[in-house]
Structure 1
Amino acid sequence: MRSSRSWRLVVEAFPLLILCIGCGPASTASPTAKPATTASTAAAVASVEPDVPVAQPEPIAEPVDSPSAVIEPVAPQPVFRPDDPREPQDDAQLAELGIRVYESRRLKLYTDIDSDAARTLPGYVDQLYDALEAYFGPLPPDRNGTDFQMTGYLLKDERLFREAGLIPLDLPPINHGRHRANEFWMREQLYDYYRRHLLFHEVTHCFMTFVPDTQTPVWYLEGMAEHFGTHRIQADGRLSFGVMPTSPDEAAGWGRVTLIREAFADGHPRTLADVFALQPADFLMNDAYGWSWSACHFLATHPRYRERFEQLGRDGRGPRFIRRLTELFEPDGRDLATEWALYVVNLQYGYDCGRAAIDFQRGSTLTAETPARTVMIEPTRGWQSTQVLLEQGQEYTITATGEITLADEPKPWVSGPRGISIRYAEGHPLGQLLACLRAEEATAAETMLRILPIGEGRTFAAPITGTLYLRINDSWSELADNRGEFSVTITRAD
């Protein structure tokens, strides 16, 4: 487990600023092309907007310092969100200029894009607002008891909006998206998906601006905006938010998964500590948005961490953020570092974070009295502990039997422990039994990244002392439809 001191060094690197940052660019590649990993400075200029007032409790009077004073109980003071700063617009006059308005309970959208593309957006935002309330809790009411509503400006021809006075003169350049209080400005996008993603990204920023005491690190602000921006439209028109896109085509123009994979291939992956230490200036480059998204998505969807991460969003605001992050995650510091390293290496479209989650169980050694142990390995999960501790230099034999089915279309793909060589995943045949060792103590290089193919059987000397983990090779996005199991026996060779 990572020491308390080292954990503090990580979290104390967080920049604690409320920032209004120009949102990252979309990929300009076609849905099937690989998006660029970075963007020019001009395409992602960050700026610090004027401070946005946040609702704070009224000050409570100190009790009188007198022996005879009677201290009366003080009732909690109500918290209100700031008054709505938006200026009313002449919708009829704007319509004559070619700027139409589409309105729902939570969004008033002014745009010059095609009406077929625009009319569904406010209703989608209402669905996102409900999801944000469910995650972060409701926003404080305003003093007039009115609903919270945002105004968005979706620009195809920026000139129209400037001539109409809809863009503040002091607003920094709108490279992709800007927000200020409960208003935002964004450019029209090439792909329908990324238009919605950027819209949801900016709406999330506006919502979080009105959460009291939102002095949270920039990686969290941008990562959660990216997390809620990823979405899927169901057949009934309902949206799911915070999803993992299944392919580049489904999330056309987004490109964050490809960015992470290319960074790893180029030898520049980031640790969680690296992500937590991102500074506002880092968001001049597109990769900061990708890494912030990956950290938030990982923590928000992992079955062991997601409840704690949601709790952090509710009660870790302002100066409490670092303290609550430490309290919530330090006990699992080593496990968290291991799973993050595996997540970054294996991330792909459709990555199933729930099935990839590891149930860490330390192993015990095989002895002369009990020289062998048999375990069952499932194809629907990632790495699984055998609860066998291998000792460095000692020889072991692993044998496997059984049959699994990896897919049913176009016909059942049945495999034994050797695997199916007609298709490979991560350099190994589908269905092949794989092994790795988790060192007894944390090491500079994650030992679970060193994969040993086992197949039907193998004898080897353990390179380190560590618990043996096994998995059945398959794409990390295709575990759910597998069935069957392998019976695996680990024998100490004396």
Structure 2
Amino acid sequence: MQALRRPHAITLSLVLLTLFGALRPSPAHAQRRRSARTATPAEAGPQLYRSANFHMMTDLPRDEARELLQRLETMHRLVAAYWGRRNTRPIEMFVVDDLSNWPAERLQQMDPQGLASIRAQAGLTMTQVISNGKQFASKSVVYAVADHGTPQHEAVHAYCGHAFGNAGPVWYAEGMAEVGKYWRENDKSVGASEYVIQYLRNSPIRPLNDIVNNPLETTGDSWQNYAWRWALCHLLGFNENYTKRFKPLGLALLAGRKANFWQVYGTQAQEIEFEYRLFIQDLEPGYRCDLCSWDWKTRFRGVTSASPTVSRIRADRGWQASRLQVRKGQTFRYSCDGEWELAKGEEAVTADGDDQGRGRLTGIYFEDYELSEPFELGAEGTFTATQDGNLFLRCGDAWGEIADNSGTIKVELTLDEEAAVTPPEPQSP
């Protein structure tokens, strides 16, 4: 959660006295009191830990504090590389494990709103910004409880305050703070908490416009709203169909320019809505939006001759275009050539999959932005189309486990002429 304080424009030279000198924590006084965690007397009470981009006052045990500082630096490196702007000064943080470990003089250093947020087991970032219209100076201070990834979430707000003087509208600011909280180096997979994933999968789909254009939603409103904002920002940030537009949109929002989600993505509204619903439906730990990006470019055709329709299906991707357009009642023969592996070091299997059915070639029909129920195929056989649509195929595996798959299978599909449906003869009156 963030709170932005933007004083009236004054000369920037005043900032050094009024802004950058404020809220400086003095050296910590050790207090020998038991916290919720076991701590040695030397570690009891809040201590100040420093790194290149963070000055963190916390009552966490020394090892945990240093580990958190390392995670914060990793997160900062990732978000700074993504947005292409450095943090202008160390981010000051109060991270609380147990308030009973904090002496009264330490609590008095905290902003009352920040302390209230900690008492509510949440977090708050206070950002002061002074601008003359062309330049700005800013200072952010983070107040956070030590668990649930709250320090990382708030640190993203603080970074944005220092780097841009702004965090953007609520949906973007809170959504990207959640994305940043979960980011891991060289890892594009879903790392959201299990309770967030289960909430999203078991709830009615929140319409996109309710996320990006809802004036009633505010920062700090509810973790459920944060979950939907995260889902949209994660999808747009990692899905190959939308990521190229998402970063420029975000930079425009952070710069305070007039930018609108629908102006940027209006021509892709149906595609985003479809992939957003599919993402929520299949969401699980390890899910990769980049590997599951929908193929909107491949051309499909109906059967016009005995020549086969050929596609190559990768084991490490989601639904992939077969290139075959079917009509309800048509029967097709299919045959597969090749093998794929479902994990490094596992024995390769054919399109029939293993003895548990993992790795079996699976199909689905796409028609007018709706999907049929998936159905199993295999290495060879026939199937009869249950509806009109474009046929998509994939290697049958858990959605969160396809990233370590490897191999490609060649699939040939031909119309079964013997089983072809012929129109009934007209009946005599």
Q: Does TM, normalized by the shorter one, top 0.5?
A: yes
SS in 2 for 1:376: strand
RCO higher in 1 or 2 (8 Å CA, sep ≥ 6)?
1
Q: Which amino acid aligns with 1:178?
A: L
Following TM superposition, by how much is the alpha carbon of 1:229 offset from its aligned partner in structure 2, in angstroms? 0.9
1:225 aligns with 2:225: no
Alignment match of 1:331 (pick from 257, 267, 274): 267
Asked if 2 retains the 8 angstrom alpha-carbon contact of 1:201 and 1:225, the reply is yes
Q: Which runs of 5+ in 2 are unaligned?
A: 33-44, 128-139, 422-429
Alignment match of 2:364 (pick from 436, 439, 445): 436
Q: CA deviation digits over 1:461-486, x for unaligned, max 9?
A: 4413x222111211223333321414
SS in 2 for 1:109: strand
Normalization by structure 2: what TM-score?
0.77
Alignment match of 1:396 (pick from 318, 321, 331): 331
Residue in structure 2 matched with residue 144 of structure 1 by the alignment: none
SS in 2 for 1:487: strand
Residue in structure 1 matched with residue 96 of structure 2 by the alignment: 155
Show structure 1 runs of 4+ deviating over 6 A: 54-58
Following TM superposition, by how much is the alpha carbon of 1:183 offset from its aligned partner in structure 2, in angstroms? 0.7
Residues 467 and 125 (structure 1 numbering): CA distance in 2 closer, same or farther, change over 3 Å?
A: same
1:186 aligns with 2:130: no
Following TM superposition, by how much is the alpha carbon of 1:375 offset from its aligned partner in structure 2, in angstroms? 2.5
Asked if 2 retains the 8 angstrom alpha-carbon contact of 1:398 and 1:491, the reply is yes
Q: Give the Cα–Cα distance (whole angstroms) in 1 for the partners of residues 387 and 63 of structure 2.
A: 62
SS in 1 for 2:241: coil
Normalization by structure 1: what TM-score?
0.68
Q: Give the Cα–Cα distance (whole angstroms) in 1 for the partners of residues 70 and 385 of structure 2.
A: 61
Q: Give the Cα–Cα distance (whole angstroms) in 1 for the partners of residues 243 and 105 of structure 2.
A: 46
Following TM superposition, by how much is the alpha carbon of 1:205 offset from its aligned partner in structure 2, in angstroms? 0.9
Q: Give the Cα–Cα distance (whole angstroms) in 1 for the partners of residues 244 and 385 of structure 2.
A: 40
Residue in structure 2 matched with residue 375 of structure 1 by the alignment: 311
Q: CA deviation digits over 1:133-159, x for unaligned, max 9?
A: 32223269xxxxxx5122111113324
Asked if 2 retains the 8 angstrom alpha-carbon contact of 1:271 and 1:340, the reply is no
Residue in structure 2 matched with residue 134 of structure 1 by the alignment: 81
Residues 110 and 449 (structure 1 numbering): CA distance in 2 closer, same or farther, change over 3 Å?
A: farther
Residue in structure 2 matched with residue 173 of structure 1 by the alignment: 117
Following TM superposition, by how much is the alpha carbon of 1:201 offset from its aligned partner in structure 2, in angstroms? 0.9
Following TM superposition, by how much is the alpha carbon of 1:242 offset from its aligned partner in structure 2, in angstroms? 7.1
Give the length in aligned residue pairs.
Answer: 383
Counterpart mapping for 1:195-214 below 5 A: 197-212=149-164, 214=166
Q: Give the Cα–Cα distance (whole angstroms) in 2 for the partners of residues 288 and 490 of structure 1.
A: 48
1:485 aligns with 2:429: no
Q: CA deviation digits over 1:156-176, x for unaligned, max 9?
A: 332425443122234433222
Residue in structure 2 matched with residue 451 of structure 1 by the alignment: 374
Q: Which amino acid aligns with 1:453?
A: E
Residue in structure 1 matched with residue 54 of structure 2 by the alignment: 107
Residue in structure 2 matched with residue 385 of structure 1 by the alignment: 321
Following TM superposition, by how much is the alpha carbon of 1:124 offset from its aligned partner in structure 2, in angstroms? 4.2
Residues 222 and 228 (structure 1 numbering): CA distance in 2 closer, same or farther, change over 3 Å?
A: same
Residue in structure 1 matched with residue 427 of structure 2 by the alignment: none
Following TM superposition, by how much is the alpha carbon of 1:408 offset from its aligned partner in structure 2, in angstroms? 5.6
Residues 411 and 219 (structure 1 numbering): CA distance in 2 closer, same or farther, change over 3 Å?
A: same
Q: Give the Cα–Cα distance (whole angstroms) in 1 for the partners of residues 415 and 142 of structure 2.
A: 63
Following TM superposition, by how much is the alpha carbon of 1:267 offset from its aligned partner in structure 2, in angstroms? 5.0
SS in 1 for 2:401: coil
Q: Give the Cα–Cα distance (whole angstroms) in 2 for the partners of residues 56 and 401 of structure 1.
A: 69
Q: Give the Cα–Cα distance (whole angstroms) in 1 for the partners of residues 240 and 384 of structure 2.
A: 34
Following TM superposition, by how much is the alpha carbon of 1:355 offset from its aligned partner in structure 2, in angstroms? 1.7
What CA RMSD, in Å, does the superposition of the two structures yield over aligned residues?
3.4
Residues 267 and 351 (structure 1 numbering): CA distance in 2 closer, same or farther, change over 3 Å?
A: same
Residues 471 and 120 (structure 1 numbering): CA distance in 2 closer, same or farther, change over 3 Å?
A: closer
SS in 2 for 1:132: helix
